[in-house]
């Protein structure tokens, strides 16, 4: 419900678009709504605990597709912050 409301609120702010732009508009709206609902700090904390999008979504109280949209909509600064935050997932275990 929360994700649907956020999605529709972005639609309301953006207004109508030409019919031929609807697929692109839906993608842009979904990305903006995900960005509005998922602050980068909370996303980083959730990803620090798990890289499973279902676990992250449950932690953030959104749907997995919103997590995916948020990740695909990262700007370079956000990407770098998350890359650093999840470094421990990339480290090889000590032998």
Q: When comparing pLDDT for 9 and 51, which is higher?
A: 51
Q: Give the Cα separation of 86 and 79 in Å (integer).
A: 11
- Given a contact cutoff of 8 angstroms between Cβ atoms, the answer to whether 31 and 72 are in contact is yes
| Residue 22 domain flag | no
Helix, strand, or coil (residue 38):
coil
Question: How many folded domains does the chain comprise?
Answer: 1
Q: Report the share of the chain in percent with pLDDT over 70.
A: 96
Task: Give pLDDT, residue 94.
Answer: 60
Structure tokens at 93: 């275990």
Q: What is the pTM of this model?
A: 0.82
- What letter does residue 19 receive in the DSSP assignment? G
- Cβ proximity of 29 and 68 under 8 Å: no
51 lies in which domain range?
2-11+27-90
> Is residue 18 a part of any domain in this protein?
no
């Amino acid at each position: 419900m929360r994700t649907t409301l956020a999605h529709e609120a972005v639609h309301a702010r953006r207004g109508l678009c030409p019919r031929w732009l609807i697929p692109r508009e839906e993608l842009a709206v979904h990305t903006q709504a995900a960005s509005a609902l998922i602050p980068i700090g909370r996303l980083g904390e959730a990803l620090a605990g798990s890289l499973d999008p279902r676990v992250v979504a449950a932690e953030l109280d959104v749907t997995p597709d919103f997590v995916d949209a948020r990740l695909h909509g990262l700007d370079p600064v956000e990407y770098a912050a998350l890359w650093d935050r999840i470094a421990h997932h990339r480290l090889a275990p000590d032998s």
